Structure 1
Amino acid sequence: MSTIPERLEKLRAKMQEKGIDIYIIPTADFHQSEYVGEHFKAREYITGFTGSAGTAVVSKTEARLWTDGRYFIQAAKQLEGTTVELMKMGQPGVPKIGEYLETALAEGENVGFDGRVVSVTEGEEYEKIASEKNGKVVYAYDLIDEVWEDRPILSEEPVFELEQKYTGETVESKLARTRAAMKEAGATAHVLTTLDDICWTLNIRGNDVEYFPLVLTYAVIRMDKVDLFVNEKKLSDEIKAHLAAAGVILHPYNDIYEDIKKVAAEEVLMVDPGRLNFALYKNIPENVKKVEERNPAILFKCVKNPTEVENIRIAEIKDSVAHVRFMKWLKENVGKETITEMSASDKLDEFRAEMGGFIRPSFGPISAFGEHSAIVHYSSSPETDVELHEGSFLMTDTGAGFYEGSTDITRTYAFGEVSQIMKDHFTLVAISNLNLASPIFKKGCCGMNFDYLARKPFWDRGLDFNHGTGHGVGYLLNIHEGPAGFRYTYRAGESDAFQPGMVITDEPGIYIEGSHGVRLENELLVCEGEKNEYGEFLYFEPITYVPFDLDAINPDIMNAEDKERLNTYHATVYEKVSPYLNDEEKEWLKKYTRAI
């Protein structure tokens, strides 16, 4: 197997052939997906870094990788000996990619990338930087494909339909809402490439992206029809008939690039520059008017309808019961039998499968013991898998895809006696999580209004965590779903006001490199509260019901309100979960939900 430096040299040779001086390799497929299938792991192939987020930039003399705070520790280890330099995004003195290009690109030099894996917004930024140096962007070549031997083929997994008892809305209804948004924007056609938006609109799911039940597709929605570009072999006759009844016409997957060139001049295309790839955008005829609007499906699918909400509650109960059984099994068996990070993760999925309706994990599991738990997005492997033992923490950040919805739950468990500082850190995270779930607030507030509630226990002590505090959760779609979430920094398009029906995670943490990490994550449902002369009020309802490990709680650093919140939450956990347990399991759960 070739090493990373050898792969980089082969890439540089291809760059020279094509007149490319700097080549950019993002973590993306042709659809701007956050997580990608095996075929699209080009950035991983060329750098050796396996995290889910990052962009590689390769010049004639150097290679750099930009990634965020979740992956600093992991990336530093994986890049050792590769000649790839880690660029820690958001840290002092670390330039953004565009800023780096402005200094690294010489006069007359060209920037290259596969235009299918770069968004319009990013591509236009790179194009502007290159033109200012009297160079150009070269976006017609997938150079990684030319050096990647035995590259996995595109997925050909079958498509399945999600029935209306799960979706709560027909395809026809979703298309009508989309067309109303198009009409308001003055558009006659809406070009969609984001897989979750297409799958949500057409009530279909698949297996083309690792862990996420998505289908590789493109779509153009018009007022009287939908052109769907997909590998037709994936569709059953029944699904084809249902799509045809909704006015969906099928085309080969890659035909979108030629078909878009034939759009009539009188058409008005609605496009989302942040969610459309650069190559496809460039194929739109120049005389065709474009209206830049956010995909309406983004907000539509983020606000769950009553059917989806009730299904999600069922999924959360299922996963909570599985977690309680898992926690009991860990507490009773660590130190008595061989349990490793990976075998523990597998055991949790066994408990999930017993609940019925379990399809697959909803994202790559994080099962991190001891110092591994300080790596925010650690992924255990046969090379790193370690045995669990007393005296430290196991952090599990995992999710389940049930037909009733997707879950995302993080718990940290203590085995035997752990140090006082570990207990203090665990308790701070618990206080933070409960703080964030507590407010009653006016409609119109967004995540930036509340992130301080989560971070105050840390900031008061000069501590912090280097990731967002919460994200929206898709319904058997992407586990990270915009546009709402919790973070204290503003991000365009990710700071929408909360609305009833949104499901947001609450996941503060603390990470001490070389020692331990703690994260506790619940899902919160945004609910309608009181309406009075002052307006409409909302509140958060925790819908994850798994104990916070009382073996790791230090009540001495909790005030009366902190204790009351923890006791109230644990009482709810017992109430919701105990009906599904046997007598022995109920007695065990009583111990771990007792009032403190």
Structure 2
Amino acid sequence: MEIKERINCLQKLMKENDIQAYIIPTDDFHSSEYVGDYFKCREYMSGFTGSAGTLVVLEERAYLWTDGRYFLQADKQLEKTGIVLMKSGQPYVPIIEKFLKRELKEGDTIGFDGRTISKNFADKLLEEIKGKNIKFKGNIDLVNIIWRNRPKISKEPVWQLDIKYAGISRKEKMKKVREKMKEVGADVFIDAALDEIAWLLNLRGNDIAYTPVFLSYMIIREGMAILCIHREVVSEKIKDELKKDGIEIAEYEEIYKLADEISDKEKVLYDSSSINYNLYDSINKNATIINRESPIALMKAMKNPVEVENIKRAHIKDGVAMCKFIYWLKKNVPLGNVSEISAAEKLVEFRAQMDGFLDQSFAPIFGYGEHGAIIHYSATEETNVVMKDKGLCLIDTGAHYYDGTTDVTRTVVLGELTKEEKEAFTIVLKGNLNLANTTFVYGTTGAYIDCVARRPLWEKGMDFNHGTGHGVGYILGVHEGPQNISKNSKSKTKLEDGMIVSDEPGFYKEGKFGIRHENLLLCKKETKNKYGQFMVFDVLTMVPFDSDGIDLSLMNEDEVDYLNNYHKKVYENISPYLNEEEKKWLKNSTKMLCK
């Protein structure tokens, strides 16, 4: 069935159910960024494969909202579907709530599968349309009727993360969560965020590709806790260990019944950004509700000392794999038999040779030439190209090891560059180095230092249409909050000691090339004096930047010194694990640059 047919089928079902607008988000039942195959309703109905987007279908038209990372990709994938691309954040593009208020009439109905709509989004929608007598029909999954041979919901086995990697036992973590509950006066905490539950219990799974989590909910009280999960995915050994720590098992779907059984006298804590609309609606209406950010979010983001040491080891392993790969790539591209897909497969081979390798941390991005300008490009058999010994290849990849999670982007020079490419390469690198080398006072949020990375680009009339940095989980989501670095960020989360953020400015020339340089940074305390606690970053990533792309005339002495010191550190950490040819290449790649 073609996309147009699917939309037409949906519109017929909408008419039968007296629905004037139907919303299909990217989310699963837990507001996850990435979702399992069963939940890819928006992708099935629109053909758009990006990780962020919302499809809104009206009686005669359909619209898809996505952010700047996916404008070029969505333009191509929505061709001939009849779906109108709505570029979020661009002038004259309304947010979904305002759009629906404008398009719908008094008494109309908005339909959606309420398990896939967050309470947060539902609240914004309700606030915008109040006064128009517009109704919600939030218990109707129309896509399920259309989607023949829909994949089954994932039920992969759960596995335990050893304390030597987790650093803190689940019993201790549960104690800290209960302390936070007391601080806000909560008797019950309902958690629907998959990465938070996995972190809390020191368990991992495989229900979402590249993200080692398992489908579940938790209800936590002072004296007991219930994990709602598909029973068959938990071994008897793990069940027994959970029981010893005061955690009972219930079926995954029982969460709605358990929420309804909360007593009138209890105060219920939940996070509206992760709890779905139907689950919220199931909570006993007489209970007192406390809507605020989950206490686990910040605990999880501030890596403990054991995690920090493990993560440093993970980045050395990853640096070895990346250096071996880049050496291989530069050596083999001139032979004319390396494609975007085969290169991605080769990098996985190198990573798999590292001790403790588990999986990639996200779908690899290998964008050669003009494909680099598609910010989250993913090569397919139809788009795959063979690389040539000229131009640039943008490589954004990462891995999970038992020691932690990595995320690194390098723009590799494969041959002769244009003046425009070399200038852009250097300007973006300046932004990366400047952010890594910044000092800031404690209390600063990511929004305030975003300009440090963008300034070199802004000075040249350039910019990039995505955030500068995101948090990274520990064998969890490669994108993790609540911290971030972005000019559009509304996060009030301070950058704390032990937090990890990415540093990834970029520049994208549509139809020509794309450049992004990304390292992961560890936030840590530095000097403390009468002006406050000062904070700095340590670079975790151990991979050289390609000096063949650098125009030294555009860099100042501080930037060159910082780059030289970083490259010296890379060589010291990585060279002992390379063979003689690779070591020689790395020595040349990290040689001291002089103005």
- 1:128 Cα offset (Å): 4.0
2: CA distance between counterparts of 1:253 and 1:19? Answer: 31
User: How much has 1:294 moved relative to structure 2?
Assistant: 1.0
1:475 — aligned with what? 474
How far apart, CA to CA, are the structure 2 residues paired with 1:132 and 1:151?
38
Aligned to 1:507: 504
Counterpart residue number, 2:485: 486
Match of 2:434 in 1: 435
Give the C-alpha shift of residue 129 in structure 1: 4.3
- Residue 534 of structure 2 is matched in structure 1 by 537
SS where residue 240 of structure 2 aligns? helix
Name 2:580's counterpart in structure 1.
583
Deviation at 1:135, TM superposition (A): 2.4
Are the counterparts in 1 of residues 321 and 350 from structure 2 also a CA contact under 8 Å?
yes
How far, CA to CA, are the matches of 2:532 and 2:102 in structure 1? 51
Aligned to 1:204: 203
Q: Determine if contact 1:468/1:486 at 8 Å carries over to the other structure.
A: yes
Q: Which residue of 2 aligns with 1:497?
A: 494
Q: Is the 8 A contact 1:130 1:136 kept in 2?
A: no
1:92 Cα offset (Å)? 0.6
Partner Cα distance (2:516, 2:229) in 1? 39
> Aligned ranges for residues 104-115 of structure 1 at < 5 Å?
104-115=103-114
Match of 2:290 in 1: 291
Amino acid aligned to 1:514: G
Q: Which residue of 1 aligns with 2:556?
A: 559
Between the aligned partners of 2:472 and 2:324, the Cα distance in structure 1 is 24
What SS does the corresponding residue of 2:536 show, helix, strand or coil? strand
User: C-alpha offsets along residues 196-232 of structure 1, whole Å, 9 cap, x if unaligned?
Assistant: 1111111110000111000000110111111111011
Looking at structure 1, the residues matched to 509 and 128 of structure 2 have their Cα atoms a distance apart, in angstroms, of: 39
Unpaired runs of 5+ in structure 1? Answer: none
Post-superposition CA distance 1:344-374 (Å, at most 9, x none): 0111111101111111101111111110000
How big is each residue's C-alpha offset from its partner over 1:54-88, in whole Å with a ceiling of 9 and x where there is no partner? 00000001000000000000000000000100000
Q: What are the Cα deviations for residues 293-345 of structure 1, in whole angstroms up to 9, with x where unaligned? A: 21000000000000000000011111011000011001111021411101101
CA–CA distance in structure 1, aligned partners of residues 93 and 591 of structure 2: 48
CA distance in 2, matches of 1:94, 1:73: 16
Residue 421 (structure 2) pairs with residue 422 (structure 1): yes
Q: Deviations over 1:265-293 (max 9, x none)?
A: 11111011122110010111211111112
Aligned residue for 1:519? 516
What does residue 401 of structure 2 align with? 402
Kindly indicate whether the alpha-carbon contact (under 8 Å) linking 2:336 and 2:388 is maintained by their aligned counterparts in 1.
no
Superposed displacement of residue 583, structure 1 = 2.3
Cα gap change, 1:560/1:231 in structure 2, threshold over 3 Å: closer, same or farther?
Answer: same
Q: Structure 1: how far apart are the matches of 2:506 and 2:518?
A: 9
Cα distance in structure 2, aligned partners of 1:204 and 1:449: 35
Give 1:122 shift. 1.1
Deviation at 1:584, TM superposition (A): 2.1
Equivalent-residue separation in structure 2 for 1:116 and 1:134 (angstroms): 23
Partner Cα separation in structure 2 for residue 417 and residue 542 of structure 1 = 29
**Aligned AA for 1:100?**
F
Q: Which residue identity is paired with 1:430?
A: L
Whole-Å separation in 2 of the counterparts to 1:176 and 1:25: 38
**Partner AA of 1:230 in structure 2:** I
SS at match of 2:290: strand
Q: Take 1:541 and 1:130, find their aligned partners in 2: how far apart are those partners?
A: 47
Shift of 1:108: 1.3
Bigger drift between 84-93 and 447-456 goes to 447-456
SS of the residue aligned with 2:273? helix
How far the C-alpha of 1:383 sits from its partner, in A, is 1.0
Give the residue type in structure 2 aligned to 1:178. Answer: V
Shift of 1:443: 1.3
The 3-state SS of whatever aligns with 1:497 is coil
Deviation at 1:531, TM superposition (A): 2.1
Give, in whole Å, the separation in 1 of the partners of 2:533 and 2:555.
32
Deviations 1:6-62 (Å, cap 9, x if unpaired)? Answer: 000111111112211100001100001011000000000111000000000000010
Could you tell me whether the CA contact under 8 Å between 1:115 and 1:123 is conserved in 2? Answer: no
Give the partner amino acid of 1:42: C
CA contact (8 A) 1:126 1:137 kept: no
Amino acid at match of 2:12: A
Instruction: Measure how far apart 1:489 and its partner are.
Output: 2.3
Between the aligned partners of 1:327 and 1:495, the Cα distance in structure 2 is: 38
- Are the counterparts in 2 of residues 110 and 130 from structure 1 also a CA contact under 8 Å? no
Q: Give the whole-Å Cα distance in 2 for the aligned partners of 1:222 and 1:431.
A: 50
Query: Equivalent residues in 2 for 1:69-88 (5 A)?
Result: 69-88=68-87
Whether the 8 Å contact between 1:394 and 1:414 is mirrored in structure 2 is: yes
1:194-343 counterparts in 2 under 5 A? 194-343=193-342
Report if aligned partners of 2:98, 2:128 keep a CA contact under 8 Å in 1: no
Q: Which amino acid aligns with 2:201?
A: L
Work out whether residues 111 and 130 of structure 1, in 8 Å CA contact, stay in contact via their aligned partners in 2.
no
Please give the secondary structure, in 2, of the residue aligned with 1:71: helix
Letter matched to residue 28 of structure 1:
D
Matched residue SS, 1:565: helix
Matching residue's letter, 1:70: R
Listed as ranges, the matches of 1:348-427 within 5 Å are 348-427=347-426
Secondary structure (helix, strand or coil) at the match of 1:335 reads helix
CA contact (8 A) 2:499 2:523 kept: yes
Letter of the 2:451 counterpart: Y
CA distance in 2, matches of 1:490, 1:124: 20
Task: Write out aligned runs for 1:84-99 (5 A).
Answer: 84-99=83-98
Find the aligned partners of 2:181 and 2:105 in 1 and give their Cα distance: 43
Report the CA distance between 1:125 and its aligned residue.
Answer: 2.7
Q: What 5-or-longer segments of structure 2 have no aligned partner?
A: none
Distance 1:576 1:592 in 2: 14
Amino acid at match of 2:473: G
Matched with 1:15 is 14
Note if contact 1:374-1:516 (Cα within 8 Å) is conserved in structure 2. yes
Equivalents in 2 of 1:126, 1:564: separation in Å? 51
- Counterpart of 2:244 in structure 1: which amino acid? A
- Contact 1:120/1:274 (CA < 8 Å) preserved in 2? yes
Question: What is the Cα deviation at residue 560 of structure 1?
Answer: 1.6
CA distance in 2, matches of 1:542, 1:10: 51
Question: Which residues in structure 2 correspond to 1:129-148 (within 5 Å)?
Answer: 129-148=128-147
Task: State how far apart, in whole Å, the 2-side matches of 1:484 and 1:156 are.
Answer: 31
CA distance in 2, matches of 1:324, 1:121: 43
The DSSP-based 3-state class of the residue aligned with 2:114 is: coil
TM-score, structure 2 normalization: 0.98
- Percent of aligned positions that are identical: 46
Deviation at 1:241, TM superposition (A): 1.1
Letter in 2 for 1:141: I
Deviation per residue, 1:436-460 (Å, 9 max, x gap) = 0011222111212211110011100
Mapped contact 1:127–1:136 kept (Cα < 8 A): no
What is the DSSP-based 3-state SS (H/G/I as helix, E as strand, rest coil) of the residue aligned with 1:273? coil
SS in 2 for 1:471: strand
Distance 2:196 2:246 in 1: 17
Q: Distance in 1 between matches of 2:44 and 2:162?
A: 38
Aligned residues: 593
Kindly indicate whether the alpha-carbon contact (under 8 Å) linking 1:426 and 1:518 is maintained by their aligned counterparts in 2.
yes
Equivalent position SS for 2:326:
helix
Contact 1:406/1:473, CA 8 A, preserved across alignment: yes
Give distance in 2, aligned partners of 1:466 and 1:156. Answer: 37
Native 8 Å contact 1:261 1:283 kept in 2: yes
Are 1:450 and 2:432 counterparts?
Answer: no
Q: TM-score, normalised by structure 1?
A: 0.98
Q: Structure 1 counterpart of 2:437, which letter?
A: S
